[in-house]
Structures are given as structure tokens and as C-alpha cells.
Amino acid sequence: MPNKTNNNKWKPSPVNTLVCTVGTSLFYPNLIRLDPGVQYKKEPPASDSLGLADKAALERYALQGDTEALREILGNIKDTFVNASDWPRLAGQLVLLPPELRLLGAEINSIEAMIRKGFLSENRERLVLLVSDTGDGASIGAVLSHYFVHAKCPIRFNRCDYVTVSGLQDEKPQVFQRDGLTNLVRLLGEQLRKWGSESIAINATGGYKAQIALAVAFGQATRCPVFYKHERFDQIIRFPRIPFTMDLGFVENNLKLWADLVEPATVFSESEMERLLPDNTLVKESVYPMLDRIEEDGKAYFALSALGMVYWEAYQTLNPGITLEPRKVEARRGCKFPQHHYPEGYKEYVEGVYNQFPEFISECHSVPYSGQKGIKITRFYIREDRIIGEYVDRRNFGARFEIMTGAGNALERKWILGKLMDSELKNVILSALFKPLGGLRKQILDIDGTDDKQPGLLIDEWIREKGLHDRISFVFEPEGENCGPSDSNNFRVAAKAEDFIVPGSHAASKDHTSNALLNIFSDVLLPDREKPQPSFFQADVVGTTFPYPTSQRPTPNLAELWKKFEVDFDKIKHNPGINAVLMLFEKHFSGLPYGAFEDTPVSIYQFAKISAALAASIYNFLQDNPKETLNDSDNMYLLIGADVSGVQDFIYTIYSTGALKNLRARSFYLEILTEKVAHEIIDQLRISSANIIYSGGGGFLMLAQNTEKSRKAIAALQADINKWLLDKFETKLYFNIECEEFSGDDLYEPSGGGAEYPFSVVYRMLSEKIEKSKSNKFSDSLEAVLTPKMPTNLSGYCPVCHTDDKRLGDGGKGIKICRFCSNFAKISTRLIGKGEYRFIHERAYDDDADFTIMKSHYKFSKIAAPKGKSFVINSWDVNDWVNGDEWQLLIGNYSSGCDELEQLAKKSDGKNLIGALRMDVDNLGMIFITGLSTKSIFRMAELSQRLTLFFKYYINVICKGDIDDVYCVKPSVSKSSRPVDIIYAGGDDLFILGAWDQTAEIAFDIQKAFAKYTGNNPSVTLSGGVTLHKHNYPVYQMAQMS
């Protein structure tokens, strides 16, 4: 192959999946007219450029001069084609010819041209061929699918499949129009959503002219690149973007109507259309042009046209998670089991599913046995418009059942399926969370050690007492016959973390009898540092007082601690959301150790949280890769890391007008932006907040399942968020998101002294990927980055951020500022209140929102929302967590209440100066990679949590002065009004501005509190600097100098 000469050679194409429309040119006219005796014998004239190109290709393959060899190849091809007996053999003969040879047809020629021009990735993952609904279509699909995966194919793909487009044939024009073209668009949409819009392209060279036109229209609507090569072209072209847009709001506003219209093979009579359409003339006038009218027996019928399908697929591609709540069922018919032999617990499980959503499920019935060995795990899926459940018992005996609902279209079936899957997953996650509490229950109930009940059974009994066994079912697996549902797989998933029990030994005891939680910082030792003395955290409730560790092992009252937990839990047991349960676990069990190991630094909370993260990851992995056994050697997990580039410049590069308000708000905005992106990954990957190992400092680390679907979702989200950031903030901010796969084996402690802990290697490799990606920012958006923007304001700019490409509005006090700075001012106003605005509600609409991130709009509130997503700021009060969909947002938000730096400076004793304090933990990277004695995921998560609590929560306590007087320099003003502002605190660092004298005192407070918090460990230290400035000194220089 010749070298690539395209203009994109410096930027490899991300396209690894190609969808190709397929015609019949390979067979007709090419092979049908092939005459091996005379083909290519004549010298093409100078005017025949295509003939000369064929000659050059043959010469490159050393075939032009060797007529005998060429004649033999062509003869074999002709014989195989005429006999039509062995398509794989024909494919093996075709690979002996140059792929650009016109004889090989439009599909092979055009794909060769795409590869030569660099339009496809060097790692060509898959090719999907869309063939006509004819015998020739199937035959050509078989030939090409073997050709493109042949070992000798010069334009090989890792995988090639062909899909028949139902109805795409030329014998019945009405079927071609009504079904064939519509199904073509449907398949294009399915492939685009399946493989991801960032890595897919369409080759529309082959097939009917109508196919080409619709493929181009589809590509325009979905922003998917479309390529075409005419037989007279010597190169392939990419269709340019056409400057028109589709009114997809018409689809959005009539979603139920569209969902009914797009049901496969569905036609509607005139009377049915009248019932289907709303009583709205404008809607009717807009819908009918999207329909095909079919006359039959003197009656008119209607079906969605191919163009209408383009609208629908474009909408679905841009809104992949869209669903519709179905109508409620009118009558319920129960469960039906006509067979006589079922897996153990099958009937009870199916009845549980039936009773779970009584408003939407009308019936469940067993499905006749067929292919039972293919049932590996308990799961739900949609097959041919039917919702199917599969169940497997402890003996790996499986059976299916069908769930009948009121769903009438694909979006409604998808809604039901999502509810079933989410409910099952939530059960697994909650079971994994509660299972580690069994040991604690045993300590409380079995004081004299005479009760032989297993810990799992004790917590299972408590869950039953609370009436929650139908929602937390996989804590304890009963043994013996007739023990109820026994989905053995889900029990194994919920318990998997115990295989990696701290410190990784399979022989470790699981009696859970130790009550002393070693301070995780006592486990850190850097080279050439003095070994720390062990210290222990008290088993206090988080959020009440600053947690000073002591050198003495505590002896907590476990029964009293459990009682406090139970009082809180009873307030949410009617709807135990995962986030609320996690908050209660962190609040009540962060000071209690998990396991019977002497001086373990891993709390019950942290072990339960990682258990839930692993359980969700395994569960989702198995949904895409069903298997009967869990193998630790399988790379089932992803470690996902994110880091925001440009944080310092974004926060600090502002000007003196409204500086304090903007600093405070910009820092907060970055914090919630990071949380938003983390939550988007959680939602799209169907995991939970338990999977977040840490979030803060402009980045996060989380666990997830290692599936292709996960990787595609992460890549698509990264592209979307960075496009949005580029549009709103130019190149100031960029989200670097990378993944590293790993196996269960990487979570065990290595055998043999001195061996590197496998998980620390995974963490280091991920960190290196993130650092490398920082040098490649916006590489997929260079055209947008390099295109100059005309200033929106030709006679002015925003006085806060100095941008001139955003419209200016009223910023108060006669100042015109841009919308984002206006939003930042709103945020600041809410943040400086005395904790009244404790909630931030996420909404789908923009009306009166305080700020926006991507498509989500947020509003501060003083009261909790009855439903919907909300952030709860720094709250351990269970009454703030009753709707079931809240997220904890820990932030350093202590404020002086001042709007301007000038006001803050005037609160100083003596000279009116601003003090700027910056501090960070020394050698944090080394602490994580080499400092911990056992670099397990549990200890790394514990260390992250303790740092997060200090820098994002307890920092507020220190700034208020609510810490032990022995360890702080007492402020000279009231503790409740120290004139300082936390501009930023998270991860391992902070930045504070304030009256200069108070800023200096707080520096001592923080340093002493941190030393005590870490047990005075010489390996874990805090460095910082305080500088003094006039109030109008540039903030970014204050930050740099301090």
C-alpha cells in the first residue's frame, strides 16, 4: 500500500467501525461478465485513466506481466462464482488481486480508498455490511464478510458481519419504499448507537441510489461522516456538512406519537391515525409529510416514511437514554407456570418480579424450555419486542419467563426493562453494602461467644425485621432445599469483596472482633523518614467534632453506636436510596474497623463501599458477558481517572471587579462540574456513587465494569463535555479521562516479599495515561480551536473575566458582565449565606436557574425536593436525605460574608491588607504509590476518604475556630466570624484569602490540626505559605506568590 498523503496524517483517525451499504456490482456486471482469457490482455489507451489504474495495480502485485498466473486466478474466480457453491473459497481467491482493481466491486474499491486516504483507524475493529433482502444480497454478504477477515486480505478488519435489510428489494416497489428504506435508516441508527458516534463512519457507495441519499441525510442529521466513491472517481469523497438543521424539538414534544409510529412493520388506518394524533392542527400538518400513504382495497393506510425515520434516528442518537413511562395496566392476571419442573426458587423469584411493579406488570409466565444451557446468569432483556427474564439456581439450572406489561412501543419497553434491571442491580449493591455489617451484629448480640449463628445470617435477620428482604436479598445465601429464591450468582457477586479481604490473605479470619481502627496515616512510611507511632480513630459519629486520633485503642460502646445508626436508618427505610445508605455508613461506621486483623486501618464503611463498587462492576460485566463462574484472571474491571486541566488559570485569572465573589463561585463551579461528570459516568454505566474512590481537587477516581459499552460511553461523554467546555470557556478547561483495565488478581496482595502490589501498578499506569493525555488536549476539535471568533462586543468586554465573545447583561451597580460571571455572582450570593442554601436541585429546564452545566440546570434551595436529583451540601442529617436521590457534596465553603476584597482587607487588625494562604500535602503521589505498607484498593480508598474529610469538610470547622484550643492559635475575634474565605479546598491542597492577621493564625491552626489528624507522622506533612497584598493586587499573582 502506498503511504498516506492526506492532510490528516498527523492526527490518526478515530474511526474503527465502518457501516457499508452493499450493492451487487461485484456479481453484476463484474463477475458475470468476467472472461479470464481476454481480461486485462489489451493495453489500455492513454485516455483510459481507470484502465491505466487497473494496470498499475496489477503491476504492483506482479501480475500484469505474468499473464498465466493472472489467468489462473481469474479462471478460478469465474469457476467458483458460476458454481455458486463455496463463498469462503471465492473470498480467498479475491484476496489475491489488488483491492483497488475495479473487478472487485464498489464495496472493496471504496474501502481500499478510505484506508489509503487515512479515513479509517489503523486498528480496524469491525465492518458491518447492510445487504439487500434478496438471494444475491445474502450471497454477496457472505463473500464480502469472509473477504474482509481473510488472513491475506490487505484491507483486513478484525471482524466483519452482514445484516439483511428487511424489505430492501426491487420486486415490490411499495415494500421497498415502506419497509426497506425505513429499515435501512433504523439499522444505521442501531449501529451508530451500538458502537458510538465518535468511532463510526458510513460508506454509502454500494446499493440503490435511494440508499445513498438516505445515508447522506442520516449522516447530516447525526453528524456521522459519510463517504462515497463513484466508479469513475479515482478517489473517495467525504460528503461535506450541509448548513441545515432538523427541528428535533418536534420529535421531543410529541415523543409518544413518534414512538408508536416507529414500531417495526406497523401501519395505521385513517381512523387509527385520528386516534393517534393529538387534536392539534399544527402537529397534524407536520406529521403527515413524514408518512407514506398506502392505498389498499380502496382504503388508505399510513406508515412512517424513510425520511421520518431519519428524524427519529437522529433524535435517538442525540438522546440515547430516552425512555417513556408506559400506561398502567388495567387488570392483573398473576403468574402462570404450566410446566412441572423448574429451578429451585424459580417460582418465588418470578412472583417477586411480578409484585415489584404492580402498576405496570399484568402477567408473568414461564417460557417453554429451549436452549437452557445458554442461561448463565439471572438477567432481563428484550427479544423481538418481548421482555424476557432468565433465572439460574445454585445448581446452574436455568429457566426463562416472559413479563407482560402495558408497554406499547420500544421506548416504553425500554423503560420497563430499565426499572427491572435497576431494581435488581440496586438489590445487589445494597446487599454488598449491608453484608459487612454481619460481624458487627455478631459482636453486639453474641457477647459471650456462644451463639453459632453466622454473621451473614444475623444481618439478614435484621433486614427481614425491617421488612426489606425483598429489596436487600443477597446478604446471606440459605442452604438446603426449599429455601426460597437462590440466585447463587447474585449472592457470589455481593460477597466477592471478601476474597480480597484486607490485607489480602485468604486465610484471614472473618470473625470481625477488633474494635480499634488504626489511623490510615500511621500506615504510611516514606524512605528516610522516622517510623510513625500508631494512633487510632475514635468510633464517633462523623460530623460532630474534629476527629483527633489517640495513641490508646478505644473501646467503643457498639450497641449504642448501632442504636444511633438504627434510629437514622428507620427514617429512610421506606425508600433506602444507595446514596443515603452510603451517607449513613460513612457517618456511623467510619470509625469502626472491618475484620479481625490487629490494627487494621480499613473501616467497615470503606470495606462496604468498595464491596458495593466491585459488586456493581461484576454484575454489569456479567450482563454483557454471561458466565457461570467468576474468574479472578478475567479483566472485569476498569479504573477510571479524570483530571481537569486549567483549574488554576480558570479560578485565579480574573480582575479586581467582583473578584472575591467570582473566586468563591468559580472554585465551587469547578467542584460541582467534577461531580456532574462523575455522576454522568455513574448514570450511563449503571453503577453507583459507591464506585467513586475519590472526587475532588479537579478530578476523580472510580471503579466500573470493563466492557466495550462502558468504554464507548466514557469516550462519548468526554467528547461531549469538552465540546461544551470549548464553547463556553474556550480552551481554559479540559477534562482528561482515561481508563485502565485490571483483574481480580490485581486486588490480591502479591506473594513473596518485596513484590510490587498489583493494584498500585494499575494506579500508576492510569496516572501516566492521564499525564500523557494532558499534552493532547482538544486534538479532536482543532478546527474549532484554530478558527478565530469575532468578538460579540465590539466596544467592550466583561470587566470580570475580560471575555469579548459573550453577550453582556446587567451585573448590578451599573456594570455589564457576561452570563457566566452573572451566574457566578448568583452562586456566590448563595454560598455566603449562613448555611441556609443546603440543597442544589437539578432540573431539565432553564427557568430561573442559578447555573448550568451541559444540559442540566441547577437551582439553590433552602428546602429538600420531594423527588429528583439534588446535591446536599455538607449534611449528615438524615432528614435531608428522604427522597432517595440525593448526593453528598462536601465542600470547603466557609465565608466571611464579604462581597469584595476591599471589605475583607478592612477587617484586618492594623494595616488593611489581604492575606493569601496556599497549602498542600507534601509528596502525595509518593504516599499513594510507595508510602502505604499494603497498597490495596481498600487502603488507598481509606486514605483518600480521610484526606477528603479534612480538606473538604473539617477545614470549615478549623476556619470557624471550633477545634481543641490546645492545637490552635486562638483568634482575636469571635470564633463565629473569622474574616477569611476558603477559595478552594479539596484533594490535598487549599487556597484561603482573608484579613491578613487571621489568615496567618489560620495557617497555624490548619498545620497543627493536620499534624494531629495524621498522628504526627513525619511522612505526611503539610507545607504552605502566606503572603500579604493590597486588595486590588491581581489574584493570580497572589496565588502564585503564596
Over residues 615-644, the pLDDT tens digits come to 999 999 999 888 877 788 999 999 999 999
pLDDT at 511: 44
- Clarify whether residues 87 and 231 are in a common domain: yes
- Clarify whether residues 21 and 116 are in a common domain: yes
- Clarify whether residues 274 and 168 are in a common domain: no
pLDDT at 656: 60
Are 594 and 436 in contact, with CB atoms under 8 Å apart?
yes
Q: Report the range out of 34-38, 613-617, 974-978 with the highest average pLDDT.
A: 613-617
- Clarify whether residues 234 and 253 are in a common domain: no
Q: Write the single-letter amino acid at 152.
A: K
- The strands making up 734-742's β-sheet, listed across from edge to edge, are 692-695, 699-705, 637-645, 734-742
Q: Say what the alpha-carbon torsion angle 575, 576, 579, 580 is, to the nearest 10 degrees.
A: 90
pLDDT at 784 > cutoff 80:
no
Residue 160's DSSP bridge partners are 127
Task: Find the range with the poorest average confidence among 62-66, 163-167, 227-231, 642-646.
Answer: 62-66
Alpha-helix runs per DSSP H in 61-204: 67-83, 87-94, 105-116, 135-147, 173-175, 181-195
Are 343 and 392 in contact, with CB atoms under 8 Å apart?
yes
pLDDT at 64 > cutoff 70:
no
In a domain, 794, yes or no: no
Return d(Cα 849, Cα 350) in angstroms, integer: 44
Q: How many CB atoms lie within 10 A of CB 484?
A: 12
pLDDT at 499: 76
- Clarify whether residues 203 and 157 are in a common domain: yes
- Model pLDDT for residues 557-589, shown as the tens digit of each residue: 999 999 999 999 999 999 899 999 999 999 999
Q: What is the mean pLDDT of the chain?
A: 86
Residue 383's DSSP bridge partners are 386
**For the residues 209-226, what does the mean pLDDT come to?**
90
Burial (CB count <10 Å: 0-12, 13-18, 19+), residue 751 = exposed
Q: What HEC string does 49-103 produce?
A: HHHHHHHHHHHHCCCCCCHHHHHHHHHHHHHHHHHCCCHHHHHHHHCCCCCCCHH
Q: What is the maximal distance between C-alpha atoms in the chain?
A: 104
CATH assignment of the domain containing 1036: 3.30.70.270
Return d(Cα 888, Cα 90) in angstroms, integer: 62
- Model pLDDT for residues 732-763, shown as the tens digit of each residue: 899 999 999 999 999 887 765 556 788 989 99
DSSP per-residue string spanning 921-955? ETTHHHIIIIIBSS--HHHHHHHHHHHHHIIIIIH
Return d(Cα 442, Cα 439) in angstroms, integer: 5
In a domain, 857, yes or no: no
Return d(Cα 703, Cα 938) in angstroms, integer: 12
CATH assignment of the domain containing 662: 3.30.70.2220
What DSSP state is assigned to residue 31?
I
Return d(Cα 341, Cα 230) in angstroms, integer: 61
Are 612 and 690 in contact, with CB atoms under 8 Å apart?
yes
**For the residues 185-198, what does the mean pLDDT come to?**
87
pLDDT at 5 > cutoff 70:
no
Chain centroid to CA 426: 17
Q: How many residues does the chain have?
A: 1042
Q: What HEC string does 773-790 produce?
A: HHHHCCHHHHHHHHCCCC
Could you give phi then psi for residue 364, rounded to 5 degrees?
-130, 135
Q: Please identify which residue in the block is written with the cell numbers 395496566.
A: 329
pLDDT at 1024 > cutoff 70:
yes
| Of the candidates 680, 731, 683, 699, the residue with the CA atom closest to the CA atom of residue 854 | 680
| Of the candidates 652, 700, 648, 653, the residue with the CA atom closest to the CA atom of residue 679 | 700
CATH assignment of the domain containing 303: 1.10.10.10
pLDDT at 517: 92
Q: How many CB atoms lie within 10 A of CB 307?
A: 17
pLDDT at 507: 35
pLDDT at 651: 84
Are 222 and 318 in contact, with CB atoms under 8 Å apart?
yes
Confidence of residue 512 (pLDDT cuts 50, 70, 90): very low
In a domain, 760, yes or no: yes
pLDDT at 510 > cutoff 60:
no
Cell triple for 602? 480499613
| Of the candidates 1032, 821, 993, 1040, the residue with the CA atom closest to the CA atom of residue 894 | 993
Rg of the Cα atoms in the chain: 33
In a domain, 858, yes or no: no
> Which CA distances in Å does 605 have to 592, 612, 912?
8, 11, 47
- Clarify whether residues 219 and 273 are in a common domain: no
- Checking DSSP bridges between strand 226-228 and strand 126-131, what pairing results, if any? unpaired
Confidence of residue 1041 (pLDDT cuts 50, 70, 90): confident
- Checking DSSP bridges between strand 361-366 and strand 334-336, what pairing results, if any? parallel
Mapped onto helix, strand or coil, the DSSP state of residue 747 is: helix
pLDDT at 555: 87
- Among 214, 238, 262, the domain boundary falls at 238
In a domain, 890, yes or no: no
929 or 810: which carries more pLDDT confidence? 929
* C-alpha angle 306-312-313 in degrees, rounded to nearest 5: 90
DSSP per-residue string spanning 449-472? S-----HHHHHHHHHHHTT-TTTS
Q: Write the single-letter amino acid at 937.
A: I
Return d(Cα 504, Cα 934) in angstroms, integer: 9
Could you give phi then psi for residue 839, rounded to 5 degrees?
-125, 145
Confidence of residue 504 (pLDDT cuts 50, 70, 90): very low
pLDDT at 505: 36
**For the residues 68-90, what does the mean pLDDT come to?**
89
- Clarify whether residues 612 and 724 are in a common domain: no
Q: How many CB atoms lie within 10 A of CB 755?
A: 9
Return d(Cα 794, Cα 785) in angstroms, integer: 21
- Model pLDDT for residues 843-871, shown as the tens digit of each residue: 877 778 889 999 899 999 999 888 889 99
Structural domain for 174, as ranges: 17-238
Residue 405's DSSP bridge partners are 361
- Clarify whether residues 512 and 585 are in a common domain: yes
- Clarify whether residues 33 and 153 are in a common domain: yes
Q: How many CB atoms lie within 10 A of CB 474?
A: 27
- Among 741, 757, 786, the domain boundary falls at 786
Q: Name every residue whose Cβ is closer than 8 Å to that of residue 157 and which is 6 or more positions away in sequence.
A: 18, 124, 125, 126, 127, 148, 149
**For the residues 773-799, what does the mean pLDDT come to?**
69
- Clarify whether residues 679 and 755 are in a common domain: yes
Return d(Cα 869, Cα 883) in angstroms, integer: 9
% of the chain at pLDDT higher than 90: 51
- Clarify whether residues 587 and 670 are in a common domain: no
Query: Number of folded domains in the chain?
Result: 5
Q: Name every residue whose Cβ is closer than 8 Å to that of residue 961 and which is 6 or more positions away in sequence.
A: 968, 970, 971, 975, 976, 978, 1005
> Which CA distances in Å does 120 have to 117, 215, 749, 781, 902?
8, 18, 42, 18, 58
191: left (phi over 0), alpha (psi -120 to 50) or beta: alpha
Mapped onto helix, strand or coil, the DSSP state of residue 20 is: strand
- Among 238, 261, 291, the domain boundary falls at 238
- Clarify whether residues 532 and 613 are in a common domain: yes
Confidence of residue 3 (pLDDT cuts 50, 70, 90): very low
- Model pLDDT for residues 102-143, shown as the tens digit of each residue: 999 999 999 999 999 889 988 899 999 999 999 999 999 999
- Model pLDDT for residues 335-383, shown as the tens digit of each residue: 999 877 899 889 999 999 999 999 999 999 999 888 778 888 889 999 9
- Model pLDDT for residues 887-902, shown as the tens digit of each residue: 999 999 999 888 889 9
In a domain, 747, yes or no: yes
- pTM here is 0.84
**For the residues 186-208, what does the mean pLDDT come to?**
88
pLDDT at 696: 84
% of the chain at pLDDT higher than 70: 89
Confidence of residue 976 (pLDDT cuts 50, 70, 90): low
In a domain, 718, yes or no: yes
In a domain, 416, yes or no: no
